[in-house]
Homo-oligomer: A and B are copies of this chain.
């Protein structure tokens, strides 16, 4: 492996030059005016994959932006790793907050500043270079590799599930390596082994056919805001934060002793955590720590509420209806559709006979993802981290959702490893995005070791 590590070092200047070109194309998927740049970036990725020595490199058109694919299947008998990343980036607004031009790579104090350095061009580029290093130096990889790089991650990966569904055979593999996440810190390397799912709904509680005067009718008929508040309070216990929807917890994979022990190791201070977001204290489900509550336990959250007079001043209206946006973060093995149905049934069942309830289910549902801590890929990733960082990784669970991970797991039937080298202060989706050069280097070495270690598992 020394050969490759030396190669990484010897070629770093070239890497950064190529990455600078990759970064320079403003492939903002949310901006229709950037379609040409999207196309240019897909072509850049195609060239990188070819240059790395992959075979059957090809752009697969979708209804949106193309998916770029490449493979190397020369490791007879060895396992296959499907590698995922994306070449599109977030918009750069507010552009005036950037200290350096967003699409011009600026390296300062060991940090690469530009849109896409961490999310995700810089990270996916690590994979290109690890593959290249193997194939240039040893003419082979320890594992079979399939790479897909999509161009719509920042707009919801709209067409990726269809692509995966259509190409299940092409994409068949033993594990999926997602190169699009963070670590806890430079000195606290970590692997994300769980993501929460999501179901998102909108409710409307209506008591009248139109707004009325609260002087004339106030006290004589139900107030829909009051009823909505009463119903929402019946969904979650105010004291324990236990969700009161019958059956809600039925499919939850409970935290094991091992899970709790791993999560407890993560450096965390409740007071610091609360103060950082202006909260007086943490608050959540009884019996769980903040890290468990935000990563490993499901939630019931109100994302919005509205009804009646919401403008300036006084209007003595008795509104006809009141509305709320309700979302539930899910953990394995909760099924979004099933949970949505449980909520709808319960919410309608608790409605008093003074109101009509309408519920709209949004299709932004996502499944939770959970990779067993003792799975072969997870063990390979841990060994790789230990070799590079000289310490065991922390195991984290992300509170947010990356629906594509669950889609991959479900469609391809294998575990996903979220081995990313971003850091919490990378300013993803914000001005002055950056990626640490030291993490880029560590990423090259760790990914190389991951391939080595994973090869041993079959």
* Residues in A lying within 8 Å of B, measured CB to CB: 196, 198, 200, 207-210, 212-223, 225-226, 228-230, 232-233, 236, 238, 241, 273-274, 277-285, 290, 293-294, 297-299, 301-310, 313-320, 322-325, 327, 329, 352-356, 362, 364, 398-401
Known: A226-B302, A315-B304, A316-B198. A398 touches B215 (CB 8 A): yes
Pair A226/B219 contact, Cβ less than 8 Å: no
A-B contact pairs, 8 of them (CB 8 A): A208-B278, A215-B398, A219-B299, A220-B293, A220-B399, A225-B305, A228-B229, A305-B305
For A320, the chain B residues whose CB sits under 8 A away are 278
A319 to B302, CA, bound (A): 8
A403 CB → nearest B CB, Å: 11
Pair B309/A303 contact, Cβ less than 8 Å: yes
For A298, the chain B residues whose CB sits under 8 A away are 219
Pair A213/B280 contact, Cβ less than 8 Å: no
- Nearest opposing residue in chain B for A278, CB measure: B209
Known: A217-B277, A218-B294. A307 touches B304 (CB 8 A): yes
Pair A238/B230 contact, Cβ less than 8 Å: yes
Pair B399/A216 contact, Cβ less than 8 Å: yes
Known: A327-B316, A400-B216. A279 touches B222 (CB 8 A): yes
Pair A310/B316 contact, Cβ less than 8 Å: no
Pair B210/A277 contact, Cβ less than 8 Å: yes
Pair A303/B318 contact, Cβ less than 8 Å: yes
Pair B313/A362 contact, Cβ less than 8 Å: yes
7 interchain residue pairs of minimum CB distance: A209-B278, A215-B400, A304-B308, A225-B302, A304-B309, A219-B299, A229-B229
Known: A214-B329, A232-B226, A327-B214. A279 touches B207 (CB 8 A): yes
